[in-house]
Structure 1
């Protein structure tokens, strides 16, 4: 019994020596003699709140994965980059996953119904193939899935893909233009674009005024340069009118674009501003009468006209003639006058009544009317 008691006391003694021999952590200062070693009970401890890392705005809205693939040599596939540079003459094959795929490609190919372009829909993917490519094919190629209900389809924003392709061709720094001179309208309420696009991504492009001869800086305030669109006039003004052209430099070569006439438009965009006037509001039997429907609008906006007239239900023969012209109204301001004239010969009682004209443009439509009486 005494032996067990001695062993117990010996173990307790060794444990106390181990505790006394421990050194304080290096990052804690030694206590001064007489210093209170007991922590105050009323000390407030601020709880630590775990920090939440701020996410980038782009991360909060996840990017939609592209459904577009580019077919490479030997049947390989890869996702195309946002921009591609290919040599003219190369064949381009793009595929987009989906049973109903819509496509968009440079208007040049669509305008001329080019046989070099083929668009097919397969069971599981859409396919676009362009052979014998040229510098004129430079532009945006995009696809999207379609959500259809019967014959009505809409774009599926969650299934899209696109790439901008530069087709480089010897002697062509600019995307070829069908004309040697073009008109760009400066509207006060929207941006205007001088569309001198290049075929070489790395080309240095500058904008120049013909008279007085000077370079127009693309400073991002008045004018900005977009490699996919050209030079963008951000806030068009009347003082920016005149003839301009672009100059491109790449690989030790330089080239000048076609010329562009900048014209300021004084009529803001919107539904047609329409008036209607009859040659006479009281007509005798057997006389002829004309009613004119006139619209003042933007130079590059077409207007369509529709007529409702009294003799229409009786298949009364009439003549309708549509026309338009550009006029300059001081300080270089340009306006388009579109007009539709309906003419009735040998006026009869069935021709008396309301002549109603509806003018329509992409922004909306306006309806006006006038009365013609039989006297």
Structure 2
């Protein structure tokens, strides 16, 4: 009886030892750095590569750390007072012979407003160039005196208080190492229209109509040359009768004094029916506000 108990305990102890060995072997197999590959070479543990955060939305500035080492900057950087910082900016390659920054616009319009400075954007590629501003007709150089007219190589010529005398076609001339270059031309237009909601007029081709007539209703806005205007119409039979709406704009010279922008939206109704008589409402909107105007078309 005692012998039987001893044998059972011995078998139980051997099973426990066998299980512990299996667990130890499994742990060793799971550890990649200890795994032996065919040929007697140890496999190195592979760590996942970390992606850099320099996506398209990040800044193009890089900080020069030391010779051959650079650091791409994030959207914000903390600077320590008193320390020097060297930065580099990535940009498009410019022909070394170009004194002016290239532009796809060969004849650019610059609007002159009496209430804010205007910029003639003839920027240069080197701060060592001597730059001057010239009117084409009649020929005249506009001197940068540091007050009424200033020059910044990163912006161009700044007219601090634009007036009628600056209206016309201008160009810039740059000279570096004895070689002159001429910039693109700039059309300077004087504007006196105040910044405000649209000034709107509404007119029908006829305020009295008969069945079968064709009618045009024109909504017009005179405003700043570079301010866009959008139109919204409300009219009888809306959603039940087809109409044609056409919108266009053009620059208008009002004498020698100013240039304004005429924007128009024309609503056309063909073959008038009873449902087409009533009020026609035009809503014009720009960045400063909106204006509603109304006219009526009645049966004869």
Q: Same fold (TM over 0.5)?
A: yes
1:125 corresponding residue in structure 2: none
Residues 58-97 of structure 1: CA deviation (Å, up to 9, x unaligned): xxxxxxxxx99515574422xxxxxxxxxxxxxxx65325
2:130 corresponding residue in structure 1: 204
1:70 corresponding residue in structure 2: 62
Matched, 1:134 2:93: yes
Contact 2:131 2:175 in 1 (8 A): yes
Matched, 1:284 2:263: no
1:260 corresponding residue in structure 2: 186
The Cα of 1:242 is off from its aligned counterpart by 1.9
Contact 2:61 2:90 in 1 (8 A): no
SS for the counterpart of 1:347 is coil
In the alignment, which of 98, 104, 107 is matched to residue 178 of structure 1? 104
Length, aligned pairs only: 229
Matched, 1:334 2:259: yes
Q: How does 1:90-109 map to 2 (within 5 A)?
A: 94-96=73-75
Contact 1:184 1:193 in 2 (8 A): yes
Contact 1:70 1:95 in 2 (8 A): no
In the alignment, which of 198, 212, 220 is matched to residue 294 of structure 1? 220
1:313 corresponding residue in structure 2: 239
Contact 1:71 1:95 in 2 (8 A): no
Q: 1:360 and 1:183 mapped to 2: Cα distance?
A: 24
Q: 2:131 and 2:272 mapped to 1: Cα distance?
A: 63
The Cα of 1:240 is off from its aligned counterpart by 1.7
The Cα of 1:224 is off from its aligned counterpart by 1.7
> What CA RMSD, in Å, does the superposition of the two structures yield over aligned residues?
2.4
The Cα of 1:178 is off from its aligned counterpart by 1.5
Structure 2 CA distance for partners of 1:69 and 1:264, relative to 1, 3 Å: closer
Structure 2 CA distance for partners of 1:76 and 1:134, relative to 1, 3 Å: closer
Q: 1:286 and 1:214 mapped to 2: Cα distance?
A: 61
Give the TM-score normalised by structure 1: 0.56
Residues 167-187 of structure 1: CA deviation (Å, up to 9, x unaligned): xx3111111121332222212
Give the TM-score normalised by structure 2: 0.69
Q: How does 1:1-375 map to 2 (within 5 A)?
A: 70-72=62-64, 74-77=68-71, 94-96=73-75, 133-135=92-94, 169-314=95-240, 316-331=241-256, 333-375=258-300
**Gapped regions of structure 2 (runs ≥ 5):** 1-58, 78-88
**Gapped regions of structure 1 (runs ≥ 5):** 1-66, 78-92, 99-128, 136-168
Q: 2:173 and 2:73 mapped to 1: Cα distance?
A: 32
Higher RCO structure (Cα 8 Å, ≥6 apart): 2
